[in-house]
Amino acid sequence: MKVASAAYPLDWHDNWLSFEEKIEAWVAGAAEAGADLLVFPEYAAMELSSLAGFDIASDPIESLIAVSEVMPESIALLQRFATRYEVHISAPTGPVERLDGKLVNRAHLLAPSGSKGYQDKLIPTPSERRGLNISAGEQTAVFETSIGKIGILICYDCEFPLIARGMIEAGAEILLVPSCTEAVAGFWRVRVGAMARALEGQCVVAHAPLVGRADWCNAAERATGSAAIYCPSDHGFSETGILDEGPLGLAGWALADVELSDIALVRRNGHVLNMEHWGEQHSPLNRIHTVALSDGVALDALASSMG
């Protein structure tokens, strides 16, 4: 299969048709390049706030509410495109109001068959908690699809290895990381996390960042990053752990061919076996000792105490 990760900018839309034409052009472009799985960034749905006008779009809380009200329509639109272009789409994430009234940051995974599922961000960042009133998701999903088993780690979530580990243990072969980071440092935190998850889980990780400026959108007025697809540095994969990546800050698709059999091979017979050896971290033989190296403490005594 071919995986496509988007470095995607927010645009102002005066009407729904403007948004529809933009998002279809992106889907069609990836499909024409042969992509089977398309990944859009975190908070890319915030461009829908422009439909409510400048005053609402520029207000961090009101813009989230406005987008949450039209998220069902945008997901229905992307579902039609998934069917029309015969692709799987990890849709732009955005705010969704739960039945309890709390807002979550939700990613939908849409299949060409018309079926769909979702993953809410499990660990909101401090700025999401303080400035946007985003609540934590409550469930972790692994999606069984015709192109493989897929998990979604929304931005900050990919910096927590046990979340990904749970998905890997549930069978995930591909992890998707939609992200939105303002600074280069933030982008690199997510990138390093995503690459580490590919290493630990011996899997493919598709990273799709928001890019560019949208001064009218207080919730995501500037973002940086580069789209990429990461892999284990092992049999059948890139020695650098990068299958493809785009230029920093520039919109476009990163594209890579992925064979599930290559993932199975490195998990079964790689140069290293991170998945198989994961549990050895918790062995009683590896209990951590706190040892004070202070004046007057003999090294042989320390060695004896650690033995």
Query: Which DSSP string corresponds to 24-36?
Result: HHHHHHHHHTT-S
Looking at the DSSP bridge assignments, the partners of residue 244 are 229
The packing angle between helices 60-84 and 16-32, to 10°, is: 50
> Is 155 one of the annotated active-site residues of the chain?
yes
The one catalytic residue among 2, 121, 158, 159: 121
Distance (Å, rounded) from C-alpha 278 to C-alpha 16?
48
Distance (Å, rounded) from C-alpha 184 to C-alpha 249?
9
> Is 149 one of the annotated active-site residues of the chain?
no
The one catalytic residue among 2, 47, 128, 155: 155
Rg, C-alpha atoms of the chain: 21
Hey, CA dihedral for 242, 247, 250, 256, is it positive or negative?
Answer: negative
Q: How far is CA 119 from the centre of its chain?
A: 10
Distance (Å, rounded) from C-alpha 160 to C-alpha 259?
26
Cα maximum dimension of the chain: 77
* Residue corresponding to tokens 């594209």: 255
Distance (Å, rounded) from C-alpha 101 to C-alpha 110?
25
List the one residue out of 202, 186, 206 whose CA is nearest residue 235. Answer: 202
Element (H, E) at 147: none
List the one residue out of 122, 150, 129 whose CA is nearest residue 3. Answer: 150
Copy the structure tokens of residue 9. Answer: 């900018």
> Is 121 one of the annotated active-site residues of the chain?
yes
Q: Any idea which residues carry the catalytic annotation?
A: 42, 121, 155
